[in-house]
A and B are shown apart, each in its own frame.
Chain A
Amino acid sequence: MSGATDTGDTDAPADLVTGIVVPIHVEYEYTAGEAASRFLSHIPERRLVGQRHGDHGLVYVPPRGSDPANGEPTDQDVELTDQGTVTTFCIVNVPFAGQAVECPYVCAQILLDGADITFQALIQEAEVSQIHPGMRVEAVWVDDPEPTLESIRYFRPSGEPDATPESYKDHM
């Protein structure tokens, strides 16, 4: 291809079939698993319960079954609060499929108090321009929480003073 300029990106002949529609439909019945089921079972009580491996493991929320650092089961529950700190964020200006939120909106990484890993969530009830790392936020729940993470509508500023950078710098 040295020196080649004919890249083959030719216009198709007019009578060429350039596509057919082949719909596919597959349904799945997923298994949440033991760890995620335990976590989700507390959601209707508006409780966020993280998990760790052993007494000294790092705390995961939501748990997925293992401590991914060592492949050990997260066998201990750790009660968390529904408050946390924004570690970093972006402002979304493009509507994302299935997203009912008006643009622009903020998608943030939030470190829940007591957890060792952040998770991604929406922030609402705040001016986009005011959101910043270190900001303290709290969960806003739906009226009748079901055992799903969609029971958290979004997070909003809690009004507390900012967290110190040292408290979250190792989590991004």
Chain B
Amino acid sequence: MRDVAVVAFAQAPNVRRDSDRNEVEILMPVLHEVREKVGLERDDIDFVVHGSTDFQAGMPFSFVGALDAYGAWPPINESHVEMDGAWALYEAWVKLQTGEIDTALAFAYGKGSPGDLVDVLRLQLDPYLVFPLGIDPIGMAAIQCRAYLEGVGRTEADMASVAVRDRRNGMTNPCAQVTGEFTVEGLLAEPMFVSPLRRHDCPPISDGACAVILAAGDRARDLVEHPAWVVGIDHRIEAPGLGMRDLTVSESTRIAAEKANASGTFDVAELHAPFTHQSLILEDTLGIDAAVTQVNPSGGALAANPFMVAGLTRIGEAAQRVLDGAAGRALAHATSGPCLQQNLVCVLEAREG
């Protein structure tokens, strides 16, 4: 495979509701900043691809407006996935592998605030057989959580410790939304939300955007001192029916990790786990040893979870540690769909594969 690296990452501050700015206005400074970091003009970007979803924006063809934040003139080589931006980055990586291009920009935006995101996410369910049951994504996560706790013997305290970790880590991330010092005891004293989930087990709703620039080979070496080389990337999906999956593990993450050669140790892991128990499932599946790997130094999805963005943010945050020279090997993960239905694993290294 061709050597391809993340060379720049930028993101908007994550907030519960940005009532001043529309999607274009949130994106514009992010798309400028990411290019400025490596001194690339729009002409220097060979391919642009982004991820977003119409039902979050509340209008059909909403992605069309996002192009206005980039400036698609003269006409550009461009595509769009109705998926988290992590999969936009995957498409960019594939395009770089064809050898047709040397640089690519992947970005994502999501304003969770205009609609009721829980109501919106219900629209992901099978419209014939599941949607009419009235269940929502938090209830589905709670079912997964119960199955996991009882199947594996973990506790609500283990879950709370994930929230304590991520919120504490988020304190060093200026773009994080829910941060602070908490204790496991303090969190466990809070009432149940959707049992066995308490509020701290669930992600915040966020408005946000982020962008990543990829470059191949010498182009990457010329642009930055420490390119974050993508030495492995893969994604897998599972059946939608919860009854058709073992909810105590993440089989699709396991396969993706195997295909991406995500074995061995990592300095940093950024996991897209919107719920605390999902972080535990992912850490188990990926064999992460917290003694050697710092998990979610950014605060992860519990500190800020802009829907359609947070997966790409994990890749950007993991890559940033390599770009900064702080990490030699980083793992990034993104998820989509109820109860970790679809997962992407990306391995980033300071040295090319």
Contact = CB atoms under 8 A, between A and B. Distances in A.
Of A20, A24, A28, A36, chain B has the most CB atoms within 10 Å of the CB of: A28
B24 A66 contact: yes
B21 A71 contact: no
Interface residues of B, number: 33
Given A20-B128, A20-B132, A22-B131, A69 B22 contact: no
A69 B73 contact: yes
A34 B25 CA distance: 8
A165 interface: no
Interface in B69-110: 69-73
Contacts of B290: none
A65 B67 CA distance: 12
A34 B21 contact: yes
A101 B202 CA distance: 49
A31 interface: yes
Nearest to A35: B25
Interface in B124-159: 127-128, 131-132
A33 B65 CA distance: 13
Given A64-B68, A65-B24, A71-B70, A31 B111 contact: yes
Interface string B28-53: 10011000000000100000000000
B73 A70 contact: yes
Interface SS, A side: loop
B65 A64 contact: yes
Interface in A1-53: 20, 22, 24-36
Interface in B322-353: none
A69 B75 CA distance: 9
Contact of A71 (B68, B120, B123): B68
B68 A26 contact: no
B251 to A, nearest CB: 30
Contacts of B120: 26
A52 to B, nearest CB: 14
B19 A26 contact: no
Contacts of B119: 25-26
Contacts of A33: 20-22, 24-25
B174 interface: no
B70 A65 contact: no
B71 A26 contact: no
Nearest to B58: A28
B115 A65 contact: no
Contacts of A64: 22, 24, 65, 68
A85 B185 CA distance: 70
B190 interface: no
A22 B120 CA distance: 15
Contact of B68 (A27, A29, A36, A66): A66
B18 interface: yes
A79 interface: no
Contacts of B21: 31, 33-34, 65
B25 A65 contact: yes
Contacts of B65: 64
A68 interface: yes
Contacts of A145: none
Nearest to A60: B68
A69 B58 contact: no
Given A20-B128, A26-B58, A69-B73, 15 more contacts: A22-B131, A26-B55, A26-B120, A29-B114, A31-B21, A33-B24, A33-B25, A35-B25, A65-B25, A68-B71, A69-B72, A71-B31, A71-B32, A71-B69, A73-B25
Interface of A: 20, 22, 24-36, 64-73
27 contacts: A24-B131, A26-B58, A26-B116, A26-B120, A27-B116, A29-B114, A29-B115, A30-B22, A31-B20, A31-B22, A31-B113, A31-B114, A32-B22, A33-B20, A33-B25, A34-B20, A34-B22, A34-B25, A64-B68, A65-B22, A65-B28, A65-B68, A68-B67, A68-B68, A70-B42, A70-B73, A71-B70
The 6 A-B residue pairs with the shortest CB-CB distance in the complex, in nearest-first order: A33-B22, A71-B71, A28-B58, A68-B68, A65-B24, A69-B73
Interface of B: 18-22, 24-25, 28, 31-32, 42, 55, 58, 65, 67-73, 111, 113-116, 119-120, 123, 127-128, 131-132
